[in-house]
Structure formats: C-alpha cells, structure tokens
Amino acid sequence: MTDTAQPTHTGFMHDIAVIGAGIVGVACALQLARQGLRVVLIDRLEPGLGASFGNAGHLATEQVFPIADSSILKRLPSMLLDPTGPLRLDWRYLPRALPWFIRLLLNLRQAPTQRSIAGLRKLNEGSLPAWQRLLASIDKPQLLRRQGSLLMIERRQSQPALRALQARMLSQGVTVAEWDAHAVRQAAPQLSPSIQGGLFFADTGHFIDPKLVVDALFEACTAAGVSFYKQQVNAAHITRLGVLLQTDEGALNVHKVLIACGAHSAHLTQTLTGQKVPLETERGYHLMLPHEHQRLPFPVTSFERKFIMTPMSSGLRLAGTVEFAGLDRPPQMKRAWQLLKLSQDLFARPLNESDASPWMGFRPSLPDSLPVMDCVCNGKVLLAFGHQHLGLTQAAYSAELMARLCSPNLMEQHQALLELKPYRLSRFNNQSAS
C-alpha cells in the first residue's frame, strides 16, 4: 500500500503507529483515523491472521465472570490429567506459567473477583451497541447476526448447576432465559433429541466470519487513509518527540504508539514502559467443517463438554479448549480434532467432516481477566491488549474508548482515562508474583 501521509515539521509521517492488526488493532486504527490522526498500522503478517482469525465468532456479552472461579480448583486435577480434555497444561511449561497461576488464584478472592466482574460487565454492556455503530458506519451490518446463543445441557443432573449459573447471571443483569428440551428442539431441530434444555441469551450474537470482520475494518482503514506496513516491530524507544520503532525493515519515528499485539504484547510493553505485565496465553483450537451449513441457527455451547459450535458463512466452526503451553511450542492439533468427537453425539444426524481444517490461536489473558487499556509515558504509549476469550466481543467498544484517549478535547481525554481506571497497567504495580 502506498503511504500518502506528509511529514510534519518534526519530520514524522505518522501521528500514531498501531502495532498489531488483529481485531483490536484494526478497530483502534479506524477510530483513531476518524479522530483526524495520521495512522500507520503495522503487523508482521497480513491483517487478521492472529487469534482474530479463528475465534468462535461469538459476541459473548453474557460472559461477565472471570476466566476461573473457585469451583475449578476441585475439577482441576481430573481436567489436567486428561490430555484431550477442555483444559491442558504442558507440564514443561509450568515453571514459566506458575507466577501467572499464582496471580490467577489470588484473583479468586472475593474483592478481586467483584472488581473483575464489574470491569467485564462494563465492557460487555457497551459491546453490542458499539459493534452495531461500527458495522453500520462501514456499511457492513450483515456481518453480525443477532440471533442470540444457547448454553445447552445433555444431563438432567446438570440442571442444578445450570440454574445456579442462571441466578448468578441474573444478579449481574445478564438477559438469560431457561429453555426446556422442547424449546431447544423448536429452535434448533437438528440437535440431538437427548438435549435436556439450556440457557438462552437473547442479547448476544455472532459474526458470520471473524476474518471477514477484520477484512472489512481494514478496508475501511485504508479508505480512511491508514497506511499498512507488513513488518515485525522488534524494539521501541521513547524519544523526546515520540517513539522510535525498530522494525525488520528499518527505523520509524512516530509521535505515539498503540500496542495491540494480542498475546505477544508483553515484550514491547515492558521495553517502552519498564513494567512487566503478567500476560499469558490460553491457547485455543477450532475445527472448521466447510460442508456443514444450516445446522444451527445460532452459537451453541455444551455445558458438559465445554466447547462451542458457531454457524458461519464458510461452514460450522467447532471451537474452544484451553491449553497452557506458551507462545512457542507447536500446536497439538489432535485437540482440534477432539472437538469433532465431542460434537458428533450432539446432533441427530452425524456431521460431515470432509475437508475439515484444524487451527490453533493464542488468547491473550491477564490473571484478573481484564484487558490492559491505558495511556502511559506522557501520552506517547497507548496499550490495548489482553482481552482473553472476549477480544472479538469487546474490540469495537475498546476502540471507541482508546480513540477517546487521543481526542483533541482534553476533557474527553480525561474522562476516558477515568473510565479506563479498571484496565490500567498500574494495577500490576507492586504485586508480589511477577
């Protein structure tokens, strides 16, 4: 892409570099360009090939609880001993992940849990309207379907736990209705008759393909004058006038930088801010079934089997599982294929598995389940990463908040910073586990 930006008196071609062209980065780049800033978006890959490529496409506004709760402690041993279960730890990775797990455990206490819930609620409650505004503004409302989603149970014994979850969700303002087996069959007749019922979330939705959403936003970025550099950012330094980036193709001076590198954001953040951020990756998998259309009207999650099935324009996507194995170890694609086994019993008729394709991606997760969204280093460094299982859900609203941090109106900037208090980097200052 050609760069039409003109240098200013400082010689800088761009006001701000957004590093990372995942869903968070492209949404931020577009909103920043709409503020009148000259934006360059930088990614080592083409846009949307990180976690944003293969997620489950679920606008999961109902997920207002942190990634772990105390009940997981009881289930943990059996889950970890099952290599194809919903949760896997690569034991060789444990020493690296241990400090993060300790922080996760500390966050199971009541006060931090309540803070996380409040922070997640705020973002989730703003997410659906923000997506509707964003997609309407680029004339692509059809990328989002607002048909709700279902959490279903196969065993009657699961009902008390499901009802307890419903009660907790209702107490947090989530729109949720209990469905019996008949209601499930009416809405999703292709599911197995053995399904006993579930919880239906009307205020959720799904995207017909998460990669198409990134592509559409990237196209809008281009139209708004955003430049794209396919480069890897290796290092960065604060300078008197801004930030100097070292990429694999040379140096680039910008006034500000926004780090949106998903699970890979910790290194650049530490380089620029001096602060270590406890970012871990929860690796997740999908299996795409390209010949499966019209199976489900909306995303369906299995309460017992702990994975989701989302109808997409390119087929049915089976997705989920959490694996702790870091950013460097090769994927265990058998975990993606396991999703096929898990799903077969859930339908009245077997799924067509021909041409199925597996994928693995890195969810970016912080131990309190909240993202980092902040403006530090005298306004030169903006941070937007760590949206865990909810990056697609929260990207549009996060981008609105981040753009307000760069508003020409100082009151607006100040207000945005106040609203972002729960997500600030400084919450990790002076915490013992590093």
Binding status of residue 49 toward ligand FAD by CB under 6 A: yes
Residue 401 parent element (H or E): helix 391-404
Name which of residues 79 to 108 contact ligand FAD (CB under 6 A): none
Binding status of residue 380 toward ligand FAD by CB under 6 A: no
Nearer to ligand FAD, 218 or 347 (CB): 218
Binding status of residue 212 toward ligand FAD by CB under 6 A: no
Binding status of residue 389 toward ligand FAD by CB under 6 A: yes
Nearer to ligand FAD, 22 or 66 (CB): 22
Binding status of residue 232 toward ligand FAD by CB under 6 A: yes
> CB of residue 267 vs ligand FAD: minimum separation in angstroms?
7
Question: What is the crossing angle of helices 23-34 and 210-223, to 10°?
Answer: 30
Nearer to ligand FAD, 197 or 364 (CB): 364
Residue 285 parent element (H or E): strand 280-289
Say how far apart CA 41 and CA 35 lie, in whole Å: 15
Phi first, then psi: give them for residue 371, nearest 5 degrees. Answer: -75, 170
Nearer to ligand FAD, 196 or 266 (CB): 266
Say how far apart CA 263 and CA 363 lie, in whole Å: 6
> CB of residue 390 vs ligand FAD: minimum separation in angstroms?
4
Stretch in the footprint of ligand FAD (CB under 6 A) among 56-64, 238-246, 287-295, 349-357: 56-64
Binding status of residue 363 toward ligand FAD by CB under 6 A: yes
Say how far apart CA 170 and CA 380 lie, in whole Å: 41
Say how far apart CA 238 and CA 273 lie, in whole Å: 9
Contact 265, 277 (CB under 8 A): yes
Select the residue interacting with ligand FAD from 39, 41, 42, 236 (CB under 6 A).
42
Contact pattern for ligand FAD over residues 394 through 413, marking x by CB under 6 A: --------------------
Binding status of residue 381 toward ligand FAD by CB under 6 A: no
Binding status of residue 58 toward ligand FAD by CB under 6 A: yes
Contact 381, 255 (CB under 8 A): no
Say how far apart CA 342 and CA 340 lie, in whole Å: 5
Alpha carbons within 13 angstroms on the beta-carbon side of residue 343 total: 31
> CB of residue 264 vs ligand FAD: minimum separation in angstroms?
4
Residue 219 parent element (H or E): helix 210-223
Binding status of residue 335 toward ligand FAD by CB under 6 A: no
Please give the structure tokens belonging to residue 332. Answer: 């265990």
User: Which DSSP letter does residue 407 get?
Assistant: -
Task: For strands 315-324 and 197-201, give the pairing.
Answer: unpaired
Say how far apart CA 124 and CA 238 lie, in whole Å: 33
Nearer to ligand FAD, 148 or 262 (CB): 262
Stretch in the footprint of ligand FAD (CB under 6 A) among 23-31, 68-76, 82-90, 152-160: 23-31
Q: How many helices (H) and strands (E) does the chain have?
A: 12, 20
Contact pattern for ligand FAD over residues 250 through 279, marking x by CB under 6 A: ----------xxx-x---------------
Select the residue interacting with ligand FAD from 29, 390, 406, 425 (CB under 6 A).
390
Nearer to ligand FAD, 198 or 364 (CB): 364
Nearer to ligand FAD, 22 or 196 (CB): 22
First-residue to last-residue Cα distance in the chain:
41
Q: Looking up tokens 């980097």, which residue turns up?
A: 425
Contact positions vs ligand FAD (CB under 6 A): 19-25, 42-45, 49-52, 55-58, 60, 232-233, 260-262, 264, 284-286, 319, 361, 363-364, 385, 387-393
